[in-house]
Structures are given as C-alpha cells and as structure tokens.
Chains A and B, each alone.
Chain A
C-alpha cells in the first residue's frame, strides 16, 4: 500500500515526499508514492533535446532518435517489443523538446517489473537495422507535414530562426526541413548519438503511484545498475547579445493576423529570481485578469486573444507576448498597447495585492493540476530536465513566493528592451510594416 500518511515538508508545493536514490553509475531514481490503487506512472527523462544538436545538418536529430527508440533490440525486435508493450496495457509514448526527451508509460502497477525490463533493454541494447532507420525518417517528415498547416508552427519557426544566431535554440525541435529530408542518410551518426546521450548521467527515472521506493530502487538496480556511463558533453555556443530589434513576417491571406513580441529572457532558475519574476510578469500583464486583456479583448474587442509567457529552458530563451487581431489594420495599435503595458511595469512597482493574487493563482493552479500519478510525474519531469534535481519543484515555488515588486521591476528593465526584441507578424501584406 502507498504511504498515504507520508507528508512532505510543510512549505513544499508538492504534498508528497520525493524519494531519490542515485545509483553508482549516476542514474537518478525518483519515487513518489501516491494513493492511486493499482496504477503507476513510469517516466524516464533524458536531458537531450534540440539544444544538444550542435553539428550543422543534424537539426531535429534528438526528436528523430526518440522515434528510433521504438525500433527494437536483439531481445525484443520491433514487432516483439510492440507485442510486449501492448500486453502491459499501458499508455506509453515519448516526446522531445528543446532540452529533453521524455519516455513514459502509465499503467498497471503490478507490471512495473516488466516496464523496467523492456525500458532498460532499449536504453542499453537498442539495435535497429539501417533499413528500419531509413523508413522511420519518413514518419518524421510526415510529422513535419501535418504540423506545417498551423500558422503558429510557421511563425514559431520564423521567430527562433530570427532571434538566435549562434545558440542551437535557432532551430525548432522538429529541425530544419532540409535536414529532415536528409535524415535517412545519417545512420552512422545515429549510432554515435545513442552512444553520447543514452547514458545514466543524462537520465532520471521517475515512478509515481501505487509503489514503494524500496521496490523501485531494487528494480532500478537490477535492470539499470550495469548501464555504463558515457563521456560526451555537447559544447553549446552561447548566444551573443542582440544589438537591435529584429523583424520577421509571414504573408498569408488565410491566416489570422498576428503580432508577437519576443524578448531575450532569462534561463530557468530555482535560485536566481529573474525567471520567477518574468514568469509573474507574464501572468500579471497578459492573463484574463489583466488590465490589457480587459481593454483589448473584452472592451475594445480588437484582439481575439492575448497571451504572454516565458518558457522554462536550460539556457536563455524568449519571453513572448502577442495577440491575434480581428483586423490586420490594428496590428500597430495592438503592438503599441502591449508596449505601453511593458513600459509601465518597468517604470512602476506592481501593486502588492495583485502580486499576492498572482502568486496564489500559480500555486492553486499547480495544486489542482496534480490529481493523478501521470500529472505528478509530468510536473516532476519538467523540473528535472531543467535542473537535474526533482526537488527543484519545491525550491522554485518557495522562490516564487519571495519575489517582490522591486524584483519584478528590476527583471522587467533588464529583459524588456528593444535591443533584445524580435517582432513577428502575420498579415496579408508583403511586409510586416510594424515599428
């Protein structure tokens, strides 16, 4: 039985204890007992994403490799692997993002031994054919093809390509299309990729649900204990400081007119307040509670929506805000309004009550979200890929609590400046034309 009585520290956002054990090969094993009778979520976070794609012509490779992880081993060749996985009755899949690849299975807790066995096998003994490799590349191209219909996919690709010069965040996780078309020719590189990154020091196992830490640790030792450490560390070039505002534009009459302001922002941190402060700025200025939302969306109705966010990333990425416009002739006005809100938060301290409400919103949103083992495992994964330590979840919310109006003003002045801005537009016009 799970330890329902087991309570985490009183000031922890996660009300369940995070048990951690680092194996001799540096593989971190995390267990969170949670009262979900018969159910467990089994996650493996590998800290490799499109950020690690440092070589030219290899963009999109971390994501492609995630596909290859389903292509079998000697013990469980492709078809056998599918059969065994199907027999577990679990919901299993994987996904890749800027800083990580996550493999997950949620299913019957009594199948945990089998889950460990098949995961360890492919993480250590993956063995696909060259033909299988080439065929899988077509599925990635199919994924790009289906994503391309969305205006958000297209503008996001344009924004990062414009905003970054040197850092690998210049390409999306899908990669450049020409590199995707060339993927079938990269078989040898794929073997190298596996050797570099599918290693215990890059990985964390997270198990949440109807489980005991002792059992999980024993299974981890049994199946992953002999996984050999690697040597590789990607040399990721830092992004030089941007000197002036950059512009990117998509002309498309069918798309909904859009303006998006993207500032170079801070990397995620659970100790430095900049990221937490900018996270709060996004909520204060652009949530449905904000003055700007009331003005542009509710009252004037020139904007169909309003958004603002900073993504948690290992290296500095973007703080973004924008709107979808009802009429493309309002794009300049909408940009000016967003700009005025940003200027205000730089020049005046935010109201302390509003700040307290925003913190409350963030904490209760989190608390309501974690109502099943999968949601908890996902939340822990997020903080684990960012810092390598699942306890970061509790540290971050403690830090968020300490952010003051002065911290917000300081961070806003540091990051929200024209020289760090990439302005993106979509309209029927040849050029964006927004200043």
Chain B
C-alpha cells in the first residue's frame, strides 16, 4: 500500500512536468518556517509600446497591488495581515519578478490570493488610478528630489541608451505614464505575462502536492501572442560626452559615467573582468582604487566605485541583489557627490577665490586610475588578494533562501545553471594574464558618456572647464592640506591637467530630463 501511494505520487509529480512549458527552480528546505515563490516573466520595460513608456511596470504593480476577481485590494490587505505575508513586483528592463513570502503554516490560506493575483487580477479602475498617480509622482517628482545619485545614474542610462529600448526609466516618462489607460494594462498582461515566458522558483518548506498544484495553475496562464523583443545595445559614444543637469538646491555634484561592454555573465571571461572591477571599485568597499584615491587620500566624497553590470539601489544595497538580469551591458563609474565651488567658498575662508568645485578633478583622477589599470595591468599580489576576496565574498550574495533562489533564476537568463558556483570555479581558474587581457579588451577611457547633477552656479564653470580641458587644480582646505604627503600633491599636478577626450558638454535644466 505504501509502495503504491509512493508510485502514484511520483506519477503525479511527473505528469505536469511533461505537459507544461514553464521552467521551475526548486529549493526544498523542510526545516524552514516559510515559503518563497518567485515568478519571473521575461518581459520588462523593453516591452513598453512607444508613447506608453512605463506600461509594463504599471501592469506589474496593478497585478501585485490590486485585487483579484474574488477580492479587492482592501479585502486582501485584511486577509494577509495576521499572516504577515508579503509580496510585490519588481520590474527591470528585461524581466518582471513577483516575489511572494509567507509562513509555511499559512500556505493553504495564502495560496488562493497568490493564484488570484497572477491568474485573475481584477484590473479595477480605482486601483489603476492610484498606481498610475503614484508612478507619475515618481517620474515627475521623486526621481529629482530623493537622491541626486540615483538621479544621475538613471539619467546616465537615458543618455547611454538614447534611441533604444533601454533608454526610458522602467517607471516610464511623464508623457508615457500620462498616456496609459486601464485597457493598455489589460492588453499588456495578456500579451506579455504568459505561460511561455515565465520561470518559477520556489524555496522553503512546501509539499510535493503544493508544487504540483502551483505548476498546474501556472500552466493556465494565456499563451504568448507576440515575441518579446531583444535588448537594443548602446552605441559606443564618440569621445567623451557630458550632460550636466542643473538643479536648483543641489548641494554637491553627483557623477555617473559609462560606456557599453559586450559581455555579460553568460561569458566565462566575465570572471576575469569581475576581478579587475573589484580591484578598481568594489561596491561600498574601501579596497577599490577609486575609493582609496578619491575618498581616502583626498577627502573628496563618501565613496567611488565601478561596475560591469547594472547594480540596483546602490545607495542602500551593500551586496548585489538578484532580479535584474540584462542582455545589454555597460561599464560604469560612480563618483558620489563632491563639493561645489560655492559650497567650498562658504565653508573655508582660504577658498573664497576659487571658481570651480571638485567634479572635474574627481573625473580626471578616476580616468587616470582606469588608464593606469589598462596600461599597466594588475600586479600579481593585487590579483591574488582580489581573487581570494571575491571567491569568498560572492557566497554572501546567497545567504538566505530567497537570495539563493533569485540567483539561481537569474542564472537561467544567462544560460547558466548556478552562476555563483560556476563563477567560483571560473575565478579559481582565472590567471593574472586573463584579467589583464580582459581589461584591455573591454575597458578604455577614450569614449564615455557622463551625467552630472549639480547646482546652477556650478554648471556653467564646470561645463567650460570640461569643454576646454582647462587645468582643474584640487582645492584643499588648509586643515586637510597641511597633513598631506608630498606624493599626493605630486600626483595632483598630473591629475589636474590629465587630458580627457571631451567632445561635447551640454547643460540641461532639471525639468528637461527624461523627455
């Protein structure tokens, strides 16, 4: 009898696998007290129709923050409150991920809600209006008034991918969001949230029967009607092009620069580039060259980092999170806000005659360091240390079951099974020569697009300085200057005249960004 039951169960488990096209990533943890389900659709903001920029994000939010055919949003809020279940959608350029987390003891109570949201969303007009106005608020006000760093980062993407389907913010443009109707969202759901472009991940304490039910239900999603587009790659800029965004009230100059690179996690060479990137500017770590030169030796700002792929919410995330896989990639450097000329004048009597803040000097210093890496390569010692660091550090990306699941799912996007363990093996095999070859192949300082958010009184002198490659001496306060070693000043004299291949500098009013 027991044997028969076992066979029936096996049969039941096998059946849906043979019948449905969806891919499942499973992480059964019987000792866990919860269940995490991630539903990842391969759509994203590149599926937004022209003139309706922001539609995929709005649709995903309407699904996750609206009601179902059976229950209103408020009904659901009441139901999930005692369970402390939570869920939400996160949309990027090429994927939309719904993440649900709930205590395992409430699986039977919570699952009908999950199922209702994904398969039978209510598309209620009142919910639509609420979510649309929240999204409109983000693209018109929040983006300009929350963090100049995020602002410069998203403005850089707009600049770098201009004319392509990566250009607009995932949340859209003001005109795009304004134009979206409830019917548009319904159509977007039917077209792009389908059983043919979905990956499902489940982690935690769940039964085989539950998984079987989930698979059977997901298989009832509509079929894909239209092809999901490929990502438009950014074109390599011709020289260095700068957009300075003049924002009244800006307290510093926030800087982001980048250029496209033809490499993602799919390629094995990515591991070598990871080592170079970590050495140059590991996110939020004091080990990076840029951090040491700009922050630690010269006291110019809070931190300076480099990236070889998109890094969401860099101001708050200490480690890279999953759910943002992309085909179109770029190298970027993040110089956190440096002081403006007017700020320095107010702070120090001895700087009352300066005409420019620290932005030009900081950019030159970053370029000089990058140039040094390209020309000289890493040393054996730095290479060994950085490799050791990364092989341990990457394991911290997947501390929790949810993080583990997220990374496994992103791996599939890149044609890998388990990126973290695979890249660990690749790192182990990578040689110093591999790293220096990858640096020369992918990195350069001749062509880049840069965005700078700064105050109106800094914008013009900064533009002039960049355009004409004017000498930009570092202006230290006396109190800092008196303690610095001569070698710093020596290097400064190189930095202040380091030639940049600047081709174009524009000043843009903050109201004219993201148009």
Total contacts A to B, CB within 8 angstroms?
208
Interface hits, B379-404 → A, CB 8 Å = 385-386, 388-393, 395-396, 399-402
Any B CB within 8 A of the CB of A243: no
Residue on B with the closest CB to A149?
A: B148
Interface residues on B, range: 35 or more
Assuming the A-B contacts A254-B141, A289-B78, are A368 and B101 also in contact, with contact meaning beta carbons closer than 8 angstroms in the complex? yes
| Set of chain B residues within 8 Å of A371, measured between Cβ atoms | 32, 34, 400-402
CB of B483 within 8 A of CB of A91, answer no
A35 to B84, CA, bound (A): 24
Let me know if A185 is at the binding interface, CB within 8 A.
yes
From A70, A130, A135, A287, B286 is in contact (CB under 8 Å) with A70
A289's nearest neighbour on chain B, judged by CB, is B81
Contact B77 A289 (CB under 8 A): yes
Please choose the segment from B17-25, B45-53, B169-177, B332-340 that sits at the chain A interface, where 4 or more of its residues have CB less than 8 A away. B332-340
Given contacts A254-B145, A368-B34, contact A142 B479 (CB under 8 A): no
Q: Which residues does chain A contribute within 8 Å of B148, judged by CB atoms?
A: 146, 149
A351 smallest CB distance to B (angstroms): 12
Q: Which of A292-310 contact B (CB under 8 A)?
A: 293-294, 297-299, 301, 304
- Which of B222-230, B294-302, B412-420, B499-507 contacts the other chain? B294-302
The A-contacting residues of B in range 296-352, CB under 8 angstroms, are 296-303, 315, 318-319, 336-339, 343, 347
Chain A 234-259 per-residue mask, 1 if CB under 8 angstroms from chain B, else 0: 00000000000000000010111000
Given A139-B299, A361-B84, verify A82-B130 contact (CB < 8 Å). no
Q: What is the CA–CA distance of A382 and B134 in the complex, to the nearest angstrom?
A: 33
Residue from the list A78, A146, A184 in contact with B254, Cβ < 8 A: A146
Q: Which residues of A contact B485 (CB under 8 A)?
A: 131
A117 within 8 A of B: no
The answer to whether B336 and A142 have CB atoms under 8 Å apart is yes
Which chain A residues border B401 with CB–CB below 8 Å? 371
Q: How large is the interface on A (under 10, 10 to 19, 20 to 34, 35 or more residues)?
A: 35 or more
- Contact indicator B483/A367 (Cβ below 8 Å): no
Name the distance in Å between A105's Cβ and chain B's nearest Cβ: 10
Interface positions of A from 153 to 177, Cβ below 8 Å from B: none
CB of A347 within 8 Å of the partner chain: no
Instruction: Determine the chain B residues whose CB is within 8 A of the CB of A82 once the complex forms.
Output: 286-287
Segment from A23-31, A372-380, A409-417 that makes contact with B:
A372-380
Q: Chain B residues with Cβ under 8 A from A368's Cβ? A: 33-34, 84, 101-103
In contact, B287 and A138 (Cβ under 8 angstroms) = no
Q: How far is the CA of A90 from the CA of B394 in the complex (A)?
A: 10
A108 touching B298, Cβ below 8 Å: no
Q: Which of A129, A298, A356 contacts B130 (CB 8 A)?
A: A298
Enumerate B451-481 residues with CB–CB distance to A below 8 Å: 477, 479-480
Contacts A142-B301, A185-B479 hold; do A150 and B146 have CB atoms under 8 A apart?
yes
B484 partner residues in chain A, CB cutoff 8 A: 131, 135
Partner of B126, one of A90, A134, A135, A299: A299
Contact B318 A91 (CB under 8 A): yes
**Which listed residue, A132, A141, A364, touches B84 by the CB 8 Å rule?**
A364
Find out whether the CB atom of A304 lies under 8 angstroms from the CB atom of B137. yes
Interface string of B236-253 (1 = CB under 8 A from A): 000000000000111110
CB-based contact A135/B84 at 8 Å: no
User: Which chain A residue has the least Cβ–Cβ distance from B142?
Assistant: A256
Q: Tell me whether A91 and B133 are in contact in the complex, defined as CB-CB below 8 angstroms, given that A70-B286, A129-B483, A131-B484 are known contacts.
A: no
Asked if A91 and B286 sit within 8 Å, CB to CB, the answer is: no
Interface residues in chain B, defined as those with a beta carbon under 8 Å from any beta carbon in chain A: 31-34, 73-74, 77-78, 81-84, 101-103, 126-127, 129-130, 133-134, 137, 141-142, 144-149, 151, 248-252, 254, 284-287, 295-303, 315, 318-319, 336-339, 343, 347, 385-386, 388-393, 395-396, 399-402, 477, 479-480, 482-485
Given contacts A142-B337, A289-B78, A372-B400, 12 further A-B contacts (CB under 8 A): A70-B286, A87-B389, A89-B390, A135-B297, A138-B298, A145-B251, A149-B337, A294-B77, A361-B84, A363-B84, A368-B102, A375-B400
Nearest first, the 8 A-B pairs at minimum CB distance are A89-B392, A131-B483, A138-B299, A364-B84, A142-B301, A142-B302, A289-B81, A360-B82
